[in-house]
Amino acid sequence: MTFAVTLGLDTLSFMLALLLVTLGLVVIFGLMNVINMAHGEFFLIGAYCVVLIQKIGLSYWWALLLAPIVLIAVGLIVEELVIRHIYRRFIDSILATWGISLVLKQLIVIVFGATAQSVDSPIPGPVEILGVTYPAYRLFIMGVAIALSSAMFLLFYRTPIGLAVRGVIANRAMAASLGINTRRLDRATFAIGAGIAGVAGAVMAPIMSVDPQMGVGFLIPAFLSILVGGSGTLLGALTGTAVISSTSVLVSDVWTQVVAQVVVFTLSILVIRFFPRGITGRRS
Amino acid sequence: MLIVRDLAAGYQRGSRVLDGVTLRIERGEVVALMGRNGMGKTTLMKAIAGHLLDATGLIIFNGVEILGLAPHQIANFGVGYVPQGRDIFSDFTTEENLLMGVVGKKQLPNRVPDWVYDLFPVLAERRRQFAGTLSGGQQQQLAIVRALVGEPILLLLDEPSEGIQPSIVQEIARTIRKIAGQRNLTILVVEQNLEFVLSTASRCLFMENGRIAEEAPVELLRPGSSLVQKYLSV
């Protein structure tokens, strides 16, 4: 019984952590259709905000404030300098954002060094839940993931701004002719996606080894989640992360991590082959 | 109200789709733009709405030079545009489509005004339904009302009767006449349907090879008349 509860919590924890990392990508890749190879570095900068805050000697919680502010600024700059020139140019966007990714990663190395930094957990120790002891901070991550996804859902599906953003994505020319400043919305949407990636990085930092390579580990499953679940909707991302994370946790628990990777990739290939628009995507 | 002078634009090198369009529309007028396919009617509408990047010449709307401005700026000056094929947001509900008409306008509150559902009970019934599931005629009404809630001064309608059954075409024509009268709206409508033009417009411009070739009051536009023969029959 306790084994099942722990496995369930592990799956849920990994799924929600993956969802947290995927959320920013849902906005930038899922909604805006920009393949952003630098998304892992946005996540990375968020994590280094925690390192910076810790070095200054402030409490961890300040990092949760600093990370989105820094990443929104980074997002605005990157959008203005590079991204706005490559909307709807897929190959160019992969190359250009890969370049941004290299630059950001090297900047981090220059400022903080190439070695891994450790970050103290702000909520150390385990708690009792459903008859098992479980790390308290993992529960906090789950809470943040749920809160942030809900906030995003409300922003994009229940506010006029969200409606305008979705309208611009659905039909840019028509939205413009209805008076919507599409340029300004592109900028804001990209910055929001970057900001969410920053929060994810800051929240994940205490349970990961914070080093310049940490962004990559989550980037691939995050992209896979969106492709498997279906891009353009939050529901798709939710389904995708559920499929990827549960497969990955269950298989690696029974066999090994390597087998889990193989299964996840095979499954993704099959899903994308038979549901090109993802599990939740409508077939056209 | 709307002055277009020597407007030229072309998609391809060598052949200009618009080749010196000059026209003038007064406030409150309903003007039809007719002509065969490929004469440049839709391109002219796009140019006025700000969707052509390479257009040259002069477009003055309400005393403001609008050629070269972005589509959202032109919309905010009071030009409402209902494009050919309607371009409704099919994955949005009827209500969300209507909201799209106001969210870009700073001076308007972010809600669908009450008169909409009084005037168009069909849209009220289907406010929670996805717009893609509406019939062609309902989608056309939705596209027109979506433009109207933005409170335009000039409405550009591109082929409102296209692909719609005849009884609905008459209904749409009636609605347009009513709205134009109530709100002193100026309308420029591209239309192939002669009956539609006869029941809505007061003046007709004929377009040929990228220019306004001739204009006439609609009274002269009976089926089989020389103007119809010259500019419309295939």
CA distance A186 to chain B (A): 14
Q: What is each CA distance from B229 to B14, B206, B224, in whole angstroms?
A: 29, 12, 6
Say which range, A70-74, A187-191, B139-143, B220-224, has the weakest mean pLDDT. Answer: B220-224
Judge whether A190 and A79 are in contact, CB under 8 Å: yes
Looking at the complex, does the CB of residue A157 fall below 8 Å from at least one CB of chain B? no
The residue ranking higher by pLDDT, B126 or A3, is: B126
Tell me phi and psi for residue A46, to 5 degrees.
-60, -45
Termini Cα distance of chain B: 33
Q: CATH homologous superfamily of domain B2-231? A: P-loop containing nucleotide triphosphate hydrolases (3.40.50.300)
B234 pLDDT above the threshold of 70: no
* Boundaries of every domain in chain B: 2-231
The residue ranking higher by pLDDT, B69 or A280, is: B69
A88 pLDDT above the threshold of 60: yes
Determine the pLDDT at residue B54. Answer: 87
Q: Output the pTM of the full model.
A: 0.86
Contacts of A180 in chain B (CB under 8 A): 72, 100, 103-104
B116 pLDDT above the threshold of 60: yes
Determine the pLDDT at residue A201. Answer: 93
A284 pLDDT above the threshold of 50: no
Contacts of A174 in chain B (CB under 8 A): 83, 87, 89
Residues A54, A58, A59, A62: is their CA dihedral positive or negative?
negative
Say which range, A238-252, B186-200, B202-216, has the weakest mean pLDDT. Answer: A238-252
Question: Reduced to 3 states, what is the DSSP secondary structure of residue B156?
Answer: strand
Report the pLDDT averaged over residues A55-84. Answer: 95
Among residues A160, A187, A198, which one has the least CA distance to residue A32?
A187
pLDDT in tens, A259-272: 888 888 888 888 88
| ipTM value | 0.93
pLDDT in tens, A90-120: 889 889 999 999 999 999 999 998 888 888 8
Q: Do A164 and B103 touch (CB under 8 A)?
A: yes
Residues A225, A227, A229, A233: is their CA dihedral positive or negative?
positive
Determine the pLDDT at residue B13. Answer: 62
pLDDT, chain A, mean: 88
Measured in residues, chain B has a length of 234
Determine the pLDDT at residue A251. Answer: 85
Q: Do B104 and A180 touch (CB under 8 A)?
A: yes
Report the pLDDT averaged over residues B158-165. Answer: 90
Looking at the complex, does the CB of residue B105 fall below 8 Å from at least one CB of chain A? yes
Q: Where do we find the tokens 């082929």?
A: B159
- B 151-190 → A contacts, CB under 8 A: none
Q: What is each CA distance from B195 to A187, B198, B220, in whole angstroms?
A: 46, 5, 13
Host H or E run for residue B182? helix B166-183
CA distance A81 to chain B (A): 21
Amino acid found at A250: L
Q: How confident is the model at residue B14 (pLDDT cuts 50, 70, 90)?
A: low
Determine the pLDDT at residue A186. Answer: 92
Determine the pLDDT at residue B221. Answer: 84
pLDDT in tens, A202-227: 999 998 889 998 888 788 888 888 88
One DSSP character per residue, chain A reads -HHHHHHHHHHHHHHHHHHHHHHHHIIIIIIT----TTHHHHHHHHHHHHHHHHHHT--THHHHHHHHHHHHHHHHHHHHHTGGGSTT-HHHHHHHHHHHHHHHHHHHHHHH-SS-B----SS-SEEEETTEEEEHHHHHHHHHHHHHHHHHHHHHHHSHHHHHHHHHHH-HHHHHHTT--HHHHHHHHHHHHHHHHHHHHHHHGGGS-BSTTHHHHHHHHHHHHHHHH-TTSHHHHHHHHHHHHHHHHHHHHHS-HHHHHHHHHHHHHHHHHH-TT-SSSPP-
Looking at the complex, does the CB of residue A217 fall below 8 Å from at least one CB of chain B? no
